[in-house]
Chains A and B, each alone.
Chain A
Amino acid sequence: MIKLLKYDWKRNSVTLIMAFVIIVLIQAVFTGAGKANGWDPNGVYAGMVVFYGMAAFLTFLLAFQTYHSNIKSYSRRLLPVPSVYLAVTPFLLLLACHAAVGILFIAHDMLFRSLFGWGRSLIDLMAEHVGAAQAAGIAATYVWNAAVTSAVVMFSITMSRTVEGKGGTWLGLLTAIILFTAVPWLEGVIFPVLSETHAQIGFITFFANAPGSTEFELVPFKPIHFGVVLFEAAVVAALVWGIAYLLDRKTKL
Chain B
Amino acid sequence: MQPILKLAAVSKSYGRKAALQDVTLEAAPGRIVGLLGSNGSGKTTLMKIAAGLLRPDAGSAEICGVPAGRATKAATAFMPDHPLTEPWMRVRDAVAFFADFYADFDRSKAKEMLGFMQLNERDKVSTLSKGMNERLQLTLTLSRNARLYLLDEPIGGVDPVAREIILDAIVQYYNEDSCLVISTHLVADIERIFDKVVFIKNGRLILHEEVEEMRLKRGKGVTDTFKEVYAE
Binding site for B on A (CB under 8 A): 3, 6-7, 10-11, 14, 69, 73-75, 77-83, 248-249, 253
Contacts and interface: CB of A to CB of B under 8 A. Distances in A.
B86 A80 contact: no
Nearest to A4: B101
A74 B84 contact: yes
Contacts of A81: 70, 101
Given A78-B73, A248-B69, A11 B88 contact: yes
Contacts of A253: 48, 53, 80, 82
A212 B117 CA distance: 73
Given A75-B97, A77-B53, A11 B70 contact: no
Contact of B55 (A73, A82, A83, A248): A248
B88 A75 contact: no
A74 B74 CA distance: 14
Interface of B: 48, 51-53, 55, 69-71, 73-74, 78, 80, 82-86, 88, 93, 97, 100-102
Contact of A78 (B55, B84, B100): B84
Given A3-B100, A248-B55, A73 B86 contact: yes
A80 B102 contact: yes
Question: At the interface, is chain B mostly helix, strand, loop or mixed?
Answer: loop
Contacts of A249: 55
Nearest to B102: A80
Contacts of B101: 3, 79-81
A78 B86 contact: no
Contacts of B48: 253
B82 A74 contact: yes
27 contacts: A3-B100, A3-B101, A6-B100, A7-B86, A7-B97, A7-B100, A10-B93, A74-B78, A74-B80, A74-B82, A74-B84, A75-B84, A75-B86, A77-B53, A78-B51, A78-B52, A80-B70, A80-B71, A80-B101, A81-B70, A81-B101, A82-B70, A83-B70, A248-B55, A248-B69, A249-B55, A253-B80
A73 B88 CA distance: 13
Contacts of B55: 248-249
A182 B55 CA distance: 31
B74 A80 contact: yes
Contacts of B102: 80
Most buried by B among A11, A69, A74: A74
B73 A79 contact: yes
Contacts of B51: 78
